[in-house]
A and B are shown apart, each in its own frame.
Chain A
């Protein structure tokens, strides 16, 4: 409301003449961006989700929904949820601990800036390169795998014969290792502002009222941080759920929904597979909408304490 009021003078200083026509011209200024978003965000999103409702010949159908009955796609969906949940919980807990440790460092110091930048690199830029790094560490010929094999005499160890299916890194469960390397940094990035929002005066108030550090955490710290913590945890879940590059570099078949989308899009042998990609896209979007809805609820609670 106040913001709207302050813009009023901006139009009147233009002089007496025709504010309405100028208003129209200003609207015109927004159209290039609107057209861009329409063409490359709205249309692709609608096409992606909508293509699931059409057959390969272009007629409307619900037949593609039979993909949900495919046991391997069901396993992959559950596998994706499981991997996302495990890496989100571990990432959130470890990330929160690192945030706590960072509180003792100077907010403008080099260490904090460097950790921020490194976190951004790993959280947003990792992808393929993170996969490479893990191949050299715990891949079949990786440093740790070789160490277990040659120096500790474990010819069959957890890294090279995991679950009876060979190298752990190339299986969905093994993906948890590289995934944590972008989940933990993402937690540091998203949770740090909440951690920094803990006011020193609250600790002092707790102390003057005779509280210990234990009561500080149980009565003040945890309750205040809880919404932000669970909000970040959900963001991590969503991040893991929608990530593709790391998995694609390590696993050539299916196993995750995002990999199944790749396989059905590139499938040349089975007709109609491309529309299955649409159904899987729909499945992902619906999951993400539920997840983000919960996130927005928590975010609303969390922001209460941030002022």
Chain B
């Protein structure tokens, strides 16, 4: 019985009793064969790329072909987007992008100034509140945004009286939608770093609380914080529901509006936005994998 165990572990080569055609030890777990895996992934890949490829192809269309004619292709639509003569048509889109970027900035500030300190404080002083915090931060997933928006409409009537009807105040509402996405990476980071011990160590060496926060806790949390910031930016750029109900122009509402007059421009921007966010998330993914390779003690000695 016990002799059989190492045989499975050492992949392949010397397993005389199993008469498999070649290579690979017998698969005993859930992992499928390389071939099965490839086939599934390739089919899924093709199906998932289809709409994106058709979207990309569409951006190169020039005019509508006559019946039976082939579609003319060219870079015309790309040139049009940057042609100053069309500025008026694309105005909602550029305005929306600008608004969304500023809203993203404000939302990141909300996450850093309101959520992050509360999470650190709870970790240091009120560990019993951790569950409460998690519950609060996950509520926005449970309550559909369309439902929250029904309540945002009256709230924003008051907000509008205080701050005026600028699109930037949307950051408050969108910040709520971002809570689950910002909470998770920071919480995961906090779980991996013992901030209590670290701050005690720093305190006993004579650091002030400001020093502890700035030079010990924050540097140790920077991966979680960076992920939270990037995810927040992605959520803000993708947010449509709140902006549309509160009749503000953001990137998404601008896209929809411009798409009605010039579908090419809308689709060009949609395509590049998706690529942009994909790269953003790829960066987060790389941050995640790098973490495993680097031992934490070295970081600590460098920061304190």
Contacts and interface: CB of A to CB of B under 8 A. Distances in A.
Nearest to A109: B289
Contacts of B252: 127-128, 245
Contacts of B240: 127-128, 244-245, 248
A261 B278 CA distance: 31
Interface in B2-53: 4-5, 8-9, 26-34, 36-41, 44, 48, 50-52
A45 B148 contact: yes
Given A118-B278, A128-B255, A100 B30 contact: yes
Contacts of B44: 94, 98, 101, 184
Contact of B114 (A33, A43, A132, A208): A33
A203 B200 contact: no
B218 interface: no
A136 B61 CA distance: 11
Interface in A161-204: 178, 181, 184, 195, 198, 200, 202-204
Interface residues of A, number: 99
A118 to B, nearest CB: 6
Given A143-B54, A203-B28, A281 B150 contact: yes
B146 A208 contact: no
A29 B118 contact: yes
A133 B147 contact: no
Contact of B40 (A49, A97, A208): A97
Interface string A105-138: 1001000011011101110111111101111110
Interface SS of chain B: helix
Contacts of B147: 45, 48-49, 242, 261, 281, 284-285
A105 B255 CA distance: 37
A41 B155 CA distance: 10
A53 to B, nearest CB: 13
B165 interface: no
B5 to A, nearest CB: 6
A204 B51 contact: no
A144 B54 CA distance: 9
A181 B121 contact: no
A276 B32 CA distance: 51
Given A41-B139, A129-B255, A204-B28, A241 B144 contact: yes
For chain B, the bracket of interface size reads 35 or more
A43 B150 CA distance: 11
B185 interface: no
Nearest to B26: A207
Interface string B47-75: 01011101101100000000000000000
A49 B255 CA distance: 31
Interface stretch (B84-92, B97-105, B269-277, B294-302): B269-277
Contact of A121 (B4, B39, B122, B274): B274
B145 A40 contact: no
A103 B148 contact: no
A114 B144 contact: no
Contacts of B255: 128-129, 132
Contacts of A133: 51-52, 54-55, 270
Contacts of A269: none
Contact of B36 (A34, A101, A124, A198): A101
25 contacts: A32-B117, A32-B118, A33-B114, A41-B139, A41-B148, A44-B152, A46-B151, A47-B155, A102-B41, A103-B32, A113-B286, A129-B270, A132-B259, A133-B270, A178-B51, A204-B29, A207-B26, A216-B28, A248-B244, A262-B245, A265-B149, A265-B245, A281-B146, A285-B144, A288-B142
Contacts of B30: 100, 103, 195, 198, 203, 216-217, 221
Given A37-B136, A133-B270, A134-B51, A117 B278 contact: yes
Interface of A: 3-4, 6-7, 9-11, 13-14, 23, 26, 29-30, 32-34, 36-37, 39-41, 43-49, 51, 94, 97-98, 100-105, 108, 113-114, 116-118, 120-122, 124-130, 132-137, 142-144, 178, 181, 184, 195, 198, 200, 202-204, 206-208, 213, 216-217, 221, 238, 241-245, 248-249, 258, 261-262, 265, 277-278, 281, 284-285, 288-289, 292
Main secondary structure of the interface of A (DSSP, over half): helix
Contacts of B144: 241-244, 258, 284-285, 288
A35 to B, nearest CB: 9
Nearest to A33: B118
Interface of B: 1, 4-5, 8-9, 26-34, 36-41, 44, 48, 50-52, 54-55, 57-58, 110, 113-115, 117-118, 121-122, 124-129, 136, 139-140, 142-155, 172-173, 175-176, 179, 181, 196-197, 199-200, 203-204, 234-235, 237-238, 240-241, 244-245, 252, 255-256, 259, 263, 266-267, 270-271, 273-274, 277-278, 281-282, 284-286, 289, 292
B143 A288 contact: yes
A243 B52 CA distance: 21
Chain A CB within 10 A, most for which of B34, B150, B152, B263: B150
B86 to A, nearest CB: 19
A10 B196 contact: yes
Contacts of A9: 200
A142 B114 contact: no
